[in-house]
Amino acid sequence: MRNRLLWLGVLGLTVIYGLDGCVKANIITGQNQIDLGLTQVVKVDTLTPILSTLFVDSVPTSAKGVAMVGGYNDTYFGTIKPRTYVQVSPPPVTNLVVGSAFDSMTLYVVPTKYYYGDTTQFLDVYAEQIQTQMIFPPQQYQWYSNDSFPVSKVLGHTRVRINPSYPDTIYVPIDPAVGEMFFNMMKNNDQNLVNAQQFATFFPGIRISSGYGPNPGIIYGLKDSVMMKLYYHNPDLARSWNFMRFSFTNSANQFLEVQNKPLPPLDQFPRVYSDIVQQRYSFDQGFNNLVYVNPLLGYTAKVEFPYLRNMYLQDTTLRTITKAELVLRPLVPSFTYQYQLPSSLGLFQTDFNNLPGSQVSQGLLTLDYGGSDTQYTFDITSYLLEQLNDPTATAYKRGLIIQPTSANFYTQINRFVFGDKYYQSPYSSPNFYQSQVIIYYISTKNTL
């Protein structure tokens, strides 16, 4: 029995913003404030964040309609290799005429337009027969990214290069001995083929992978509508062709395994079956002021604002926050056209348990390939106002988890690596912050 988290993803980025000083900037003229008579609008950008990384050993991937194949060696996360498991149903009972003969058998795999890596590389695609029936252990109702099943043999293999803009169906020729076996079973009305329940035991399913060699440097998304066709011909003069279809079935048993051998510092997280969210701060040993997000590998991020109230108490003229933004900038060398950032990130409420709750903001992504102006910008005005108005002693323990939104959480393996305020990138000036909170508030003037 394994207790697993069923939440959207879990590597945490904890950002605690400490007050370094109050710098008032003129929003209109470039000075320190906007003069509104007895009040003024002040900009504060020195609330210092503390970041942390959250990790869970796996995330649920079954019944998501998501499949991938390939692999690559990631500079930050280590080796990554996804493998897809599917189950197929037997073909309808077919009355074969005397003299019918087997011709060939093919597995059809349809790529999506999703890719991550170098699309100029060739990709080996293997179809392997799962050895044991896919049955959930007690108290487990989903398959997870670190689940796997042994395979008994290779059914077929092909080598392809895919154009992700116009992906063609991948045709994997199946071992003729396997096709001939199924053909003879249909001819003999074998119950292991014509009975669906017995077939699930006899032929538990198919694993689609890139094999056991070096990673190809590319990962492609696949549709879960995998099928096999067994072709045969009748003994008439026209040698008329026919086929039997083995169709995709039982989405609950279609899942994605993601193999990962992490690099330091991520190898500090124990790989254990646990429902506890592990946490490492950006200032912890080895993390070097960096934070890591890759949801399918179990990583998300969390940001906290424990010093927000200190800022409010130190400035007695502060009346109300009018606007607040969280800005996160990825490391310049960590993303390219091939290795793209997550297309969407959201902020989700959380507490000391580090479990994501309701979404409070959607990040706006600004891209600048080759430059340092790429950033996610989040509106956190309502959240900070709510936290300031929370009188409870535990308000400072609350935070926001940063992770892809539900539409992209399971469908992409895109990563996001960024630093806290104290990380100094060699690609930017010393005062260029990887993470930043910008607050605009109304304050009263001191008329004495």
Q: How confident is the model at residue 11 (pLDDT cuts 50, 70, 90)?
A: very low
How far apart (Å, rounded) are the C-alpha atoms in residues 349 and 360?
7
- Same domain, residue pair 251 and 191: yes
pLDDT tens-place string over residues 105-117: 999 999 999 999 9
Is the residue at 430 inside a domain? yes
Is the residue at 10 inside a domain? no
Note the pLDDT of residue 31.
Answer: 34
Is the residue at 303 inside a domain? yes
Is the residue at 218 inside a domain? yes
Domain boundary among 230, 260, 290: 260
Note the pLDDT of residue 181.
Answer: 97
- Same domain, residue pair 232 and 282: no
Lowest-confidence pick of 30-39, 42-51, 178-187, 251-260: 30-39
Give the dihedral of Cα atoms 266, 268, 272, 278; nearest 10 deg: -80
User: Three-state SS string across the chain, please?
Assistant: CCCCCCCCCCCCCCCECEECCCCCCCCCCCCCEEECCCEEEEEECCEECCEEEEECCCCECCCCCCEEEEEEEECCCEEEEEEEEEEECCCCCCCCCCCCEEEEEEEEECEEEEEEECCCCCEEEEEEEECCCCCCCCCCCCCECCCCCCEEEEEEEEEECCCCCCCCCEEEEECHHHHHHHHHHHHCCCHHHHCHHHHHHHCCCEEEECCCCCCCCEEEEECCCCEEEEEEECCCCCCCEEEEEEEEECHHHCEEEEEEECCCCHHHCCCCCCCCCEEEECCCCCCCCEEEEEHHHCEEEEEECCCHHHHHHHCCCEEEEEEEEEEECECHHHCCCCCCCCCCEEEEEECCCCCCCCEEEECEEECCCCCCCCEEEEECHHHHHHHHCCCCCCHHHCEEEEEECHHHHCCCCCCEEEECCCCCCCCCCCCCCCEEEEEEEEEECCCC
Is the residue at 148 inside a domain? yes
- Same domain, residue pair 324 and 195: no
- Same domain, residue pair 255 and 112: yes
pLDDT at 262 over 90: yes
Q: Among 119, 373, 111, which residue's Cα sits nearest to residue 222?
A: 111
- Same domain, residue pair 167 and 240: yes
Q: Which two three-digit tokens encode residue 279?
A: 């946490």
- Same domain, residue pair 71 and 161: yes
How far apart (Å, rounded) are the C-alpha atoms in residues 259 and 68?
12
Q: Which residues of 420-447 are buried (b: 16+ CB within 10 A; e: fewer)?
A: bbbbebeebeeeebbbbbbbbbbbeeee
- Judge residue 95's burial from the number of C-beta atoms within 10 Å of its C-beta, 0-12 exposed, 13-18 middle, 19 or more buried: exposed
Q: How many CB atoms lie within 10 A of CB 242?
A: 14
pLDDT at 303 over 90: yes
Lowest-confidence pick of 107-111, 174-178, 258-262, 405-409: 405-409
- Same domain, residue pair 231 and 294: no
- Same domain, residue pair 232 and 380: no
- Same domain, residue pair 53 and 84: no
Domain boundary among 260, 280, 311: 260
Is the residue at 306 inside a domain? yes
Note the pLDDT of residue 30.
Answer: 31
Is the residue at 266 inside a domain? no
Note the pLDDT of residue 14.
Answer: 39
Q: Among 321, 350, 330, 280, which residue's Cα sits nearest to residue 441?
A: 321
pLDDT tens-place string over residues 45-102: 877 778 899 999 999 999 999 899 999 999 999 999 999 999 999 999 888 988 999 9
CA 255 to chain centre: 14
Q: Which two three-digit tokens encode residue 423?
A: 């990380």
- Residue found by looking up tokens 């019944």 in the block: 63
- Same domain, residue pair 248 and 118: yes
pLDDT tens-place string over residues 408-436: 888 899 999 999 988 887 766 655 668 99
How far apart (Å, rounded) are the C-alpha atoms in residues 286 and 15?
17
Note the pLDDT of residue 332.
Answer: 84
Residues 204-217, mean pLDDT to the nearest whole number: 95
Is the residue at 12 inside a domain? no
Query: What value does the mean pLDDT of the chain take?
Result: 87
Range of the domain at 249: 67-260
Lowest-confidence pick of 6-15, 160-169, 234-243, 356-365: 6-15
Percent of the chain residues topping a pLDDT of 90: 65
Domain tally, the chain: 2
Q: Which sign, positive or negative, has the C-alpha torsion 301, 307, 309, 315?
A: negative
- Same domain, residue pair 201 and 142: yes
Domain boundary among 260, 292, 326: 260
pLDDT tens-place string over residues 326-337: 999 998 888 998
pTM over 0.75: yes
- Same domain, residue pair 72 and 142: yes
